[in-house]
Amino acid sequence: MEGNSCARGHPDERNPSTKIEIEGPTNMPRKALIAANWKMFKTPAEAEAFVDAFLPLVAGHTRDEIALFPSPVLLPAVAAACSGSHVAVGAQNIYFAEEGAFTGETSVLQLKAVGATHTLIGHSERRQYFGESDAIVNKKLHTALKHGIVPVVCIGEVLEEREAGKTAGVLKTQVTGGFAGITPAAAAAIVIAYEPVWAIGTGKTATPEIAADAHRIIRAEVAALLGAEVAATMRILYGGSVKPDNATALISQEEIDGALVGGASLRPDSFAAIVKY
């Protein structure tokens, strides 16, 4: 494990012959994060039943980080059920103001107070249905970093953009717009989730090669913006129809540092199978 690979943790558990040295001033490993995005599903009782069934399935499974992202109303129950375990809990969204007259929104302070240590920002459903622009993503990212909550910034192209050959441009715009004004020191906490919109909830997964290609584009943009060191250590997750049967091929790509899982994270057995890819 003291090797020079810049891959996320435990390359020796996979295929030692595929260890790849990547250029950069650091050899810090990237520990994979396997994250469950429950979207607008489950009641508190169902969420607790999930955690009760899930924790024994992943007991002792500390190779990677694990996090659950339930609706805000479920956070207290899920955080209580996960307390003392190695499973973290995050929000699916935050508002950029700390408090105020913003009916229906939830602040980072409120979310932290009920146990969230992470938050998704700019999920494609937020962008698509709730008009979240890169400028809003950027404001939310500044707020999350200010309050020490780990931001998982979601980016990805829609089908028409991919078919028109615009994927690289879209990803660069989302990274530059979303990360405006972020310093390299602050950026160290950020996780990116690459989620091609055409693969979310559709059963169509990007091939490991397509995903790795997009991840390389994203990492190069992060390097241009924030420097090689930040880029080399930043975790980039893949999301979009990750299932137990495709998780290994995706996550064992050198460039892919974990997964953001929607549909297949709703059942303890299938999410545990993904965690154990």
Binding site for ligand PGA (CB under 6 A): 37, 195, 200-201, 239-242, 260-264
Instruction: Name the catalytic one among 118, 123, 125, 255.
Output: 123
Q: Considering beta carbons, is residue 11 or 239 the nearer one to ligand PGA?
A: 239
- Decide if 14 contacts 242 (C-beta within 8 A): no
Q: How far is the CB of 121 from ligand PGA (least distance, A)?
A: 12
CB 114 within 8 A of CB 79: yes
Cβ(233)–Cβ(30) below 8 Å: yes
Please answer whether residues 70 and 116 qualify as being in contact, where contact means their C-beta atoms are separated by less than 8 angstroms.
Answer: no
Cβ distance to ligand PGA smaller for residue 148 or 201: 201
Is 125 known to be catalytic? no
Which residue is closest to ligand PGA by CB?
262
| Shortest Cβ 262–ligand PGA spacing (Å) | 2
The distance of closest approach from Cβ of residue 241 to ligand PGA in the complex, given in angstroms and rounded to an integer, is: 4
Question: In angstroms, what is the minimal distance from the CB of 123 to ligand PGA?
Answer: 6
Nearer to ligand PGA, 3 or 201 (CB): 201
- Cβ proximity to ligand PGA: between 119 and 241 the closer is 241
* One-letter identity of residue 51: V
195 noted as active-site residue:
yes
Residue from 195, 221, 254, 255 carrying the catalytic annotation = 195
CA distances from 15 to 19, 85, 103, 166 (A): 7, 29, 51, 34
Question: Which is nearest to 39 in space by CA: 267, 276, 262, 275?
Answer: 262
Nearest 10 degrees: CA dihedral of 218, 221, 227, 232? 20
- Active site positions, annotated: 123, 195
